[in-house]
Structure 1
Amino acid sequence: MRNGTHYRTCHLCEAMCGVAIEVKEGRIASIRGDDNDPLSRGHICPKAVALQDLHEDPERLRKPVRKTATGWQEIEWDEAFKTVAEKLHSTRTTHGRNSIGVYLGNPNAHNHSSLIATMPFLRAVGSQNRFSATSNDQLPHMLASLEMFGHQVLFPIPDIDRTDLFICIGGNPMASNGSLMTVPDFRGRLKALKKRGGKMIVVDPRRTETAKQAEEFHFIRPGTDAFLLMAMVNTLFADELIHPSPAEQLIKDLDLLRLASLPFPPEAVAERTGIAATTIRDLAQQLAHTPKAALYTRMGTSTQTFGSITTWLAYCLNILTGKLDTVGGMMFTQPAIDLIAIGAMSGQRGHFGSRHSRVKGLPEFAGEYPSSTMADEILTPGDGQIRAFVTIAGNPVLSSPNGRRLDEALSGLDFMVSVDYYINETTRHADIILPPTAVLERSHYDIIFNMLAVRNVSKYSEALFDAGPDSRHDWQILLELAHRLEKLRKGGKLPIRSELGWQAFKRAGPDTIVDVLLRTGPYGTDTGRARGVLETATKRVLELLPKHHPLRGLAKLSSLNPQWQKLPKGLSLKRLKENPSGIDLGALRPALPGRLFTRDGKINLAPRRYLKDVERLHQQLSVPDSPNELLLIGRRHIRSNNSWMHNSHRLVKGKDRCTLLVHPDDANRLGLKEGGRAEVRADDRLVIMAVEITDDMMPGVVSIPHGWGHDREGTQQSTAAAHAGTSINDVLSDQLTDPVAGTSVLNGQPVTVKVCEPEQQPVPA
């Protein structure tokens, strides 16, 4: 690698911040923000410096390892591929295709090469037992987008740079840099909002880092956001504040929504939510009367028992007040690689509930079952029991509820393989670990998060360091395994046509496909030329994909939305390489009705599955709260992202951030002391941790951060282990889900808290 400054996108969270990495004598000398990046404009958060820690980490695996009776042993790639393919094939042959489970972790969404290669791999495995981080995260948003707009990833994004009122419920973009809202430098954008006379309102059970910057903040009892939003809908109808223009001609079932809201006037929900009726009315009126306004909900509202209905109502509120598809409101992106359009062209808009999980009967979404039932499917005997498991860039033992039970399940598998470069709390159970190259050793294009960004941009980063001849990129690992599995399924030899297709796929690699996607996209080069590239260079690659795979829609892109004709042209991989800081494609633009994918071209305001759940919501109004009950919520810190950054010494240094946050009133009642230790219990699940007393918490609510718990034996992440913390998922039940979508309930589960006696010790791993 040559010395000098190299420009990249930081992949460590959704923000897509541009970084300038200075290299001297083959090593990283500094990392700073890229002032010329059109989205982040020089901003970076503290996580960016961890790029160096991750790249140089001596505990990062560089070669495949196999578990033996005496420890982990390095093996050669060919032996590793051969063993994994044969074990998975044998399991499938003996026990059926659904005897293999696959889990995809969050980092896959940040990795274009993994995204492109995962589908052929999943097709080769052939199992319906697929899981991912989706059902512990954004599933309610995907379901609402599918039900109301006709496509599972057509998310309305706050036009934060032009809004005058930003209402944030259950989100903390000061710590997350946005989530389903790619928004680097949220602090700077908030300052600009206030400078133009705007304001921010935050509703949350904790006075978060974001809430402390708000002009108006309201505590809300965890899990009751649906009551608040339904009462706001009620207010809009009662006060005749329904003004859905410009979407007015596109909506249907307005009366059904009005009828659903009738039992929920603000007075009926005030005690339940902890928010006064006058405040609820005022929130609805501010949203209605501010021309440029956006109401945004996120993790705190998604991962709760009413996560689906809450997300639906948030979408409805924006629509009813005319904030959808308007400047300063909630708008749709037009990314350079338009997976939404590509999927629609191939008939892949998303699907839900086409089958249900074997043990709990939970619905699938986009081919995946909820992660909360992984342990059930492994531990419960019978036809379809998972006996072999594959994890790809994931650590569900720390990120899914009831991690101890999942530990038990993974330890009893016949075989497990992980594509990961760390031996962590999940991969320690694997028989073989296949480590991919680190992020600075591979190219990068953000396919997913450009679909969620507050501004349309496009940027490609070339590999910064040579990974060396004895390494494999993740896409090479997945394609090699898929190729071998297909061969074994066909008796050891593939037809010549199929074999040529696999070889073409391996030679082309993900960047060739990215180039085709850019050229055939809304900002692409001449469509005729792009179509020629598609037909020649990638024809055999596309033949390997399933019949309805989204990428098969490429051939039809030239006939897409006429609005594309108005966009700037000439985008290609070559042009992005010539502009390493990225290319600005402009502010978000009105996109309806062309961006709708419902069958009748209408926005469905009252999907029947949500109306049915309103009955459950109404029943909960009369259920009294337990006077001594504490409700548990998670939280996030700007130096952390799930469980996968705690081996960076730069990010974990400083005071202990894995503490139990408790309101002073609750601490006094329970006899808890600042810095003392407390036992947090739910049924037979418990953790012991340090107490932090703060009036940032709502009375009756306690908080444990997400992603910690690095005290399990057998891991090889010494920095993380030295700052182990406690896993919130060792307390949370995996039996509690949102019955509509099957999303894990990670916020609002009841717990008991008491002083930890001196003789008590943490529960052993």
Structure 2
Amino acid sequence: MTTEAGTFQKTACILCSMNCGIEVLVEDRRLTRVRGDRQHPTSRGYLCEKAQRLDHYQNAKDRLRTPLRRRPDGSFEAIDWDTAIREIAAKLMGIRDTHGGASIFYYGGGGQGNHLCGTYATATLATLGAVYRSNALAQEKTGEFWVDGKLFGRPRCHTAPDFEHAEVAVFVGKNPWHSHGFPRARHVLKEIASDPGRCLVVIDPRRSETARLAQYHLAVHPGTDAFCLAAILGTLVQEDLVDRRFLAEHTNDAEPVLEALAEIPVADFAKRCGVEESLVREVARRIARAKSVAIQEDLGIQQAPHSTLDSWLEKLVYLLVGSFAKEGGMNIHSRMASLGGGSGGGKRGSTTPVTGARIITGLVPCNVIPDEILTDHPQRLRAMIVESANPAHSLADSKRFREAFAALDCLVVIDVALTETARLAHYVLPTASQFEKWEATFFTLEFPKNAFQLRAPLLAPLPGTLPESEIHRRLVRAMGALDSVDLAPLAEAARRSRGEYAMAFMGLIGTRPELMALAPVILYETLGPTLPPGAEATAVLWGIAQSCFMAFPESVQRAGFPGADALFDAILRERSGITFTVDSYEETWARLDTPDKRIRLMIPELMQELVGLATEPMPSRDERYPFILAAGERRSSSANTIFRDPAWRKVDLEGALRMSPADAADLGVSTGSVVRIVTEGGSATATVEVNDGMRAGHVSLPNGGGLLYPDEAGGERRHGTAPNELTHHAQRDWLAGTPWHKHVPARIERIELS
């Protein structure tokens, strides 16, 4: 479904989780103009500068146009689709039959704008009996999800900050000026900063763009956020600034938490984190007297020491002052579909089979994946399917991942380009781009109004490519999963009416419940042909709409949809997207998933770590690695590796290493100097940028660097520094396994250029 060239078409930006609505002018297969979509229910015309450059993704030089198979000598040869599907199906079934489906691992199925593929992958995984999976959330958010589950009943009880109405907005390890994370971020930040009755608080080692706007910037030493948060909490308790009535009415086990916080040595913790005690106390008092407080954490603490503890502490801040289930506070949002991983159909335990790592929301911690492969353990991983992801570049310790991938019996990569991971694969399957197919994301994270957008293709797929939905349909068919199922009655019911189809579908699942895991492909083949031409992949959203309506019937009805079919029809019809749920703030209490609808304030697994902060040794200066490197800072000139073409950057082409003026002077370097970065994980070179936002001893590299890309001479060139050549897989949170990308001990060596 495309429209006439020369007219603006509605779609969405695919560069971050906000997926702002955009309108795109397409001319000769190029995205020549991009503007914000004012009709989008969430972004309302808002757009940052990065979306203007989306043509660098759509028309990158390294787009794939044919399936590839690795030869014995390591090179690739082009093969046709029938051969690729047949050989991959046979190879994976052979591994399943010999070693069990649990030996086949799935990574990805997402990216920032590419989620429908993940729903179809579940059918392939079910056919194989695959059990374990992961994606980027497992190196970012799973610690926070685990804390949500402990406090509110289940990890799906995720909270949304209401910054638009908050009196005090707090950002911990987050720079929303560049990372966004909530609708219309820059507009909202400027509104709060310019209102004398409101307040911005930023906890971050760097004087980021957001910190420069803030009334309070707590410039902590890298990795000491737990001490800062504990000092704020200690002040709230010791100065009796907590909302005792809220705690009594809505929480359990508050007393042990309050007792522990009453013992926090606030002055010592403030000194430990490098912030004046008076500033810590002033911030605590400002939070306490506010009518509403909204808080958001991000990778700055989620990928640093004490990360899961930090997630608990930042949530305690808003809970102790009662800023929950209210306007301007924190609320549990609805969702169109779960972001967590699901089983492929086999039985999954709560830990991984080799290392015993904790699995949270169905996702294996990314840092343990190599250890689940590089072993002689009988239950080791032997095959992987990687889809819309580049773990050989984006996960900690790239060298270790390259070694692990080389040890697999089969690695299949499904992607648009020959990524760093695809170069290691046995088979590479080329997909249509995100603007050449029907697509959507499930980052439906807002409250009180939550929105969802289905994107129609702007262009026909490149010849030789297929959308992931068709790839998985072919794999499922090639593996014989539906050979014994007569889908003709279901297809006939779909042609008659949606109501008859629902009855027929439920009847089939009732008699053959094992087919529920194959529902995406069944919907694709039976309901899909009744949808707009080429839109078969959207059939899975009919099932998702049914589940959404069953989970949130009143909220969906308040949004104007009397039933699931009306919701599905609106999803198909409205190109700018729809508001699919509308809530009152009291709805948050109904969404608590604890038996008594009360918050379980204490988390025993983290209490010992909190108490232990008081006796944790002060880190001594390590002469081998005297700096702390933040590997993967978000900047105006950095993005996720969906942008492989470096020409999209207008500045900072090589991704400079930022350091403070004091450190630059000590090292005898200046902006433009070349240095070597050395860590336990490896070494790399980078160009220096002296930046007054960095504190002494703290340096940063942007995300997205170090990709190989075709050059003008017909070869390839690596642009910038790959951060994960410097990180180490063993440096991770003890509980959630999230990596310490933002806290990498490093040495910086000046390079003398001749």
| TM-score (normalizing by structure 1) | 0.85
Identify the residue that residue 666 of structure 1 maps to in structure 2.
Answer: 663
Deviations 1:394-445 (A, max 9, x none): 1112211111121222234332110111111111001211112111111233
Identify the residue that residue 189 of structure 2 maps to in structure 1.
Answer: 190
Secondary structure in 2 matching 1:94: helix
| Residues 530 and 720 of structure 1, relative CA distance in 2, 3 Å threshold | farther
Identify the residue that residue 356 of structure 1 maps to in structure 2.
Answer: 352
Deviations 1:134-160 (A, max 9, x none): 221111121111111122232211211
| Residues 694 and 22 of structure 1, relative CA distance in 2, 3 Å threshold | closer
Of residues 209-218 and 736-745 in structure 1, the stretch that sits farther from structure 2 once superposed is 209-218
From 90, 95, 120, the equivalent of 2:94 is 90
Secondary structure in 1 matching 2:106: strand
Alignment of 1:442-457 (within 5 A): 442-446=437-441, 448-452=442-446, 455-457=449-451
Alpha-carbon distance in 2 for matches of 1:75, 1:227? 57
Deviations 1:507-565 (A, max 9, x none): 99xxx9xxxxxxxxxxxxxxxx9876533357657852349999799579558665666
Identify the residue that residue 613 of structure 2 maps to in structure 1.
Answer: 617
Contact 2:659 2:694 in 1 (8 A): yes
Alpha-carbon distance in 1 for matches of 2:407, 2:215? 53
Of residues 163-172 and 254-263 in structure 1, the stretch that sits farther from structure 2 once superposed is 254-263
From 678, 681, 686, the equivalent of 1:681 is 678
Of residues 582-591 and 654-663 in structure 1, the stretch that sits farther from structure 2 once superposed is 582-591
Which amino acid in structure 1 is aligned with residue 119 of structure 2? I
Residue 738 of structure 1 pairs with residue 733 of structure 2: yes
Deviations 1:345-365 (A, max 9, x none): x999xx99722341x432122
Residue 592 of structure 1 pairs with residue 588 of structure 2: yes
Alpha-carbon distance in 2 for matches of 1:318, 1:648? 41
Alpha-carbon distance in 2 for matches of 1:291, 1:13? 31
Identify the residue that residue 466 of structure 2 maps to in structure 1.
Answer: 472
Identify the residue that residue 496 of structure 1 maps to in structure 2.
Answer: 484
From 602, 605, 609, the equivalent of 2:601 is 605
Contact 1:246 1:325 in 2 (8 A): no
Identify the residue that residue 67 of structure 1 maps to in structure 2.
Answer: 70
Deviations 1:310-329 (A, max 9, x none): 01111111111111121011
Residue 177 of structure 1 pairs with residue 172 of structure 2: no
Query: How many angstroms does 1:99 deviate by?
Result: 3.1
Secondary structure in 1 matching 2:590: coil
Alignment of 1:37-76 (within 5 A): 37-68=40-71, 69=73, 71-76=75-80
Deviations 1:487-515 (A, max 9, x none): 4xxxxxx5623x639x979999xxx9xxx
Identify the residue that residue 298 of structure 2 maps to in structure 1.
Answer: 298
Identity of aligned residues (%): 25
Query: How many angstroms does 1:24 deviate by?
Result: 4.5
From 358, 361, 365, the equivalent of 1:366 is 361
Deviations 1:449-498 (A, max 9, x none): 123478422333222222278542112212332343454xxxxxx5623x
Query: How many angstroms does 1:617 deviate by?
Result: 3.2
Contact 2:396 2:741 in 1 (8 A): yes
| Residues 403 and 27 of structure 1, relative CA distance in 2, 3 Å threshold | closer
| Residues 459 and 668 of structure 1, relative CA distance in 2, 3 Å threshold | same
Residue 461 of structure 1 pairs with residue 445 of structure 2: no
Alpha-carbon distance in 2 for matches of 1:203, 1:720? 44
Secondary structure in 2 matching 1:496: coil
Alpha-carbon distance in 2 for matches of 1:585, 1:417? 36
| Residues 701 and 376 of structure 1, relative CA distance in 2, 3 Å threshold | same
Gapped runs of 5+ residues in structure 1? Answer: 488-493, 513-528, 760-765
Query: How many angstroms does 1:655 deviate by?
Result: 3.2
Alpha-carbon distance in 2 for matches of 1:186, 1:606? 32
Contact 1:17 1:40 in 2 (8 A): yes
Contact 1:709 1:725 in 2 (8 A): yes
Query: How many angstroms does 1:366 deviate by?
Result: 2.8
Alpha-carbon distance in 2 for matches of 1:157, 1:668? 43
Deviations 1:48-84 (A, max 9, x none): 2333232233421132122234843222111101111
Secondary structure in 2 matching 1:377: helix
| Residues 296 and 390 of structure 1, relative CA distance in 2, 3 Å threshold | same
Query: How many angstroms does 1:663 deviate by?
Result: 1.4
Secondary structure in 1 matching 2:209: coil
Residue 149 of structure 1 pairs with residue 144 of structure 2: no
Secondary structure in 2 matching 1:752: strand
Alpha-carbon distance in 2 for matches of 1:136, 1:89? 29
| Residues 246 and 561 of structure 1, relative CA distance in 2, 3 Å threshold | farther
| TM-score (normalizing by structure 2) | 0.86
Identify the residue that residue 747 of structure 2 maps to in structure 1.
Answer: 752
Contact 2:58 2:433 in 1 (8 A): yes
Which amino acid in structure 1 is aligned with residue 224 of structure 2? T
| Residues 347 and 92 of structure 1, relative CA distance in 2, 3 Å threshold | closer
From 106, 111, 123, the equivalent of 1:102 is 106
Of residues 598-607 and 393-402 in structure 1, the stretch that sits farther from structure 2 once superposed is 598-607
Alpha-carbon distance in 1 for matches of 2:711, 2:508? 42
Contact 1:99 1:127 in 2 (8 A): yes
Alpha-carbon distance in 2 for matches of 1:707, 1:540? 46
Query: How many angstroms does 1:257 deviate by?
Result: 1.0
Identify the residue that residue 435 of structure 1 maps to in structure 2.
Answer: 430
Deviations 1:625-660 (A, max 9, x none): 5587211113112343322213263x2243335111
Which amino acid in structure 1 is aligned with residue 93 of structure 2? H
From 109, 114, 130, the equivalent of 2:117 is 114
Alpha-carbon distance in 1 for matches of 2:368, 2:551? 42
Contact 1:244 1:323 in 2 (8 A): no
Alpha-carbon distance in 2 for matches of 1:133, 1:507? 39
Secondary structure in 1 matching 2:25: strand
Secondary structure in 2 matching 1:142: helix
Contact 1:294 1:328 in 2 (8 A): yes
Query: How many angstroms does 1:288 deviate by?
Result: 1.0
Secondary structure in 2 matching 1:259: helix
Give the root-mean-square deviation of aligned CA atoms.
3.5
Identify the residue that residue 641 of structure 1 maps to in structure 2.
Answer: 639
Identify the residue that residue 12 of structure 1 maps to in structure 2.
Answer: 15
Query: How many angstroms does 1:687 deviate by?
Result: 1.3
| Residues 292 and 749 of structure 1, relative CA distance in 2, 3 Å threshold | same
Contact 2:385 2:412 in 1 (8 A): yes
Alpha-carbon distance in 2 for matches of 1:324, 1:530? 40
Residue 284 of structure 1 pairs with residue 252 of structure 2: no
Which amino acid in structure 2 is aligned with residue 136 of structure 1? Q
Alpha-carbon distance in 2 for matches of 1:548, 1:82? 22
| Residues 444 and 356 of structure 1, relative CA distance in 2, 3 Å threshold | closer
Contact 1:332 1:588 in 2 (8 A): no
Of residues 561-570 and 253-262 in structure 1, the stretch that sits farther from structure 2 once superposed is 561-570
Contact 2:65 2:462 in 1 (8 A): no
Alpha-carbon distance in 1 for matches of 2:574, 2:676? 54
Which amino acid in structure 2 is aligned with residue 458 of structure 1? F
Alpha-carbon distance in 2 for matches of 1:577, 1:703? 43
| Residues 414 and 302 of structure 1, relative CA distance in 2, 3 Å threshold | same
Residue 318 of structure 1 pairs with residue 306 of structure 2: no
| Residues 683 and 339 of structure 1, relative CA distance in 2, 3 Å threshold | closer
Alpha-carbon distance in 2 for matches of 1:537, 1:717? 52
Identify the residue that residue 515 of structure 2 maps to in structure 1.
Answer: 544
Of residues 162-171 and 651-660 in structure 1, the stretch that sits farther from structure 2 once superposed is 651-660
Alpha-carbon distance in 1 for matches of 2:348, 2:266? 33
Which amino acid in structure 1 is aligned with residue 291 of structure 2? P
Query: How many angstroms does 1:387 deviate by?
Result: 2.8
Secondary structure in 2 matching 1:210: helix
Which amino acid in structure 1 is aligned with residue 478 of structure 2? R
Which amino acid in structure 2 is aligned with residue 275 of structure 1? V
Alpha-carbon distance in 1 for matches of 2:65, 2:33? 24
Identify the residue that residue 233 of structure 1 maps to in structure 2.
Answer: 233
Secondary structure in 2 matching 1:166: strand
Identify the residue that residue 255 of structure 1 maps to in structure 2.
Answer: 255
Deviations 1:284-327 (A, max 9, x none): 11111111221221110111121101011111111111111210
Deviations 1:5-27 (A, max 9, x none): 21112222112211111235665
| Residues 496 and 93 of structure 1, relative CA distance in 2, 3 Å threshold | closer
Query: How many angstroms does 1:726 deviate by?
Result: 0.8
Alpha-carbon distance in 2 for matches of 1:710, 1:592? 43
